Amino acid sequence: MQLKPKNWTGLIAGLIILLIAGGLLWTFTQRHAVTATVSNLNLRQGPGLNYTATHKVKKNSRLTILGEKNNWYHVRDSQNHFGWVASWLVDHPGHLKTVTNLAEATIVLDPGHGGSDSGALSIDQKHDEKTYTLELAQRVAKALRAKGTHVIMTRSTDKTVSLADRPALANDHQANAFISFHFDSSPTDNLASGATTYYYHRQSSYALAQAVNGEMNDLPLTNRGIRFGNFEVIRDNSRPALLLEMGYINTKKDFSDIHSAVYQQAVADRVVKGLAQYFKTQH
């Protein structure tokens, strides 16, 4: 039987529609897919650690995002299991825009503590950690903005900000980097000294740690190097994230630098240089 011309036209139109729909579906799936970065990732009944785990997925398994709430993704796995996974336990390359210089970047700066949370007390028992983390972060922000960087501060005044809200700000704004500023404290005065760079997620944050820490070797305080740190503000962060402890506030030698404008500016300059170097290597 011969098909009439109009039937051919209808068939071709149908095929075109199917191809377009297939392409849109593939694009949606690619843009809304994540990969498990840990072994035996739990799929939970709701968006939180208090919800029951119903299934586990293997590391590197691909998951399709169906929804998002409170930094958790509602996903479907390849076996058609549904559940919620923590955003910081999956890799979502589509969410991280590649930038190659500071002028293209969005960076969240987090002055530790604030408001009712004073942080650690200084060696003279008169000064709070929160004061100096804000001063340091503001110096870094000024230097970054001079380079054209879009800077977001978790706080710009002495106010209380919850630990959960700090990484959430970076996640929500899809920041290219998150830096949290702190000053260490030892159990006994004058027991320890030096500055430490902490990361949590090796895959997303270790390269940033290397770039920033690599600029810290000529500071007055000893560079204690890069270490893993289980801190909420970097643990619950899906962006490249660091927590910097830039000296021991209850050590006399360190505190003499911590409250010095010269030291704070030196740290700020080196953080900016480290960030610039990090973005140069991103492709």
For 238-258, what is the mean pLDDT? 97
- Judge whether 121 lies within some domain: yes
> Hey, which residues does 55 pair with through a beta bridge?
43
**Residue 243 CB-density burial (10 A; 0-12 exposed, 13-18 middle, 19+ buried):** buried
Do 176 and 102 meet the contact criterion of CB atoms below 8 Å apart? no
Tell me the C-alpha distance between 73 and 68, whole Å.
5
Residue type at position 159: K
Do 144 and 68 belong to one domain? Answer: no
Do 146 and 45 belong to one domain? Answer: no
- Judge whether 122 lies within some domain: yes
Tell me the C-alpha distance between 30 and 191, whole Å.
52
Do 86 and 145 belong to one domain? Answer: no
Q: Write the CB contacts of 168 (distance below 8 Å, at least 6 apart in sequence).
A: 70, 71, 236
Q: Write the CB contacts of 181 (distance below 8 Å, at least 6 apart in sequence).
A: 109, 110, 111, 112, 133, 136, 137, 140, 244, 246
Do 121 and 236 belong to one domain? Answer: yes
Our separate counts of H helices and E strands in the chain read 7, 13
Do 132 and 244 belong to one domain? Answer: yes
- Judge whether 5 lies within some domain: no
Tens digit of each residue's pLDDT (9 = 90 or more) over 132-173: 999 999 999 999 999 999 999 999 999 999 999 999 899 878
Q: Write the CB contacts of 229 (distance below 8 Å, at least 6 apart in sequence).
A: 198, 199, 200, 243
Tens digit of each residue's pLDDT (9 = 90 or more) over 265-282: 999 999 999 999 999 998
Mean of pLDDT over the chain? 87
Q: Which domain holds residue 219?
A: 102-280
Tens digit of each residue's pLDDT (9 = 90 or more) over 178-195: 999 999 999 999 999 999
Q: How large is the angle between the packed helices 202-213 and 261-280, nearest 10 degrees?
A: 130
Sheet with 41-44, strands from edge to edge, namely: 53-57, 41-44, 82-86, 72-76, 62-69, 33-36, 90-91
The phi and psi torsions of 228 (rounded to 5 degrees) equal -75, 135
Do 261 and 165 belong to one domain? Answer: yes
Do 246 and 150 belong to one domain? Answer: yes
**pTM score > 0.75 for this model?**
no
Number of domains in the chain: 2
pLDDT score recorded for residue 129: 97
Q: Count how many residues are written for the chain.
A: 283
- Judge whether 18 lies within some domain: no
For 119-127, what is the mean pLDDT? 95
Do 156 and 196 belong to one domain? Answer: yes
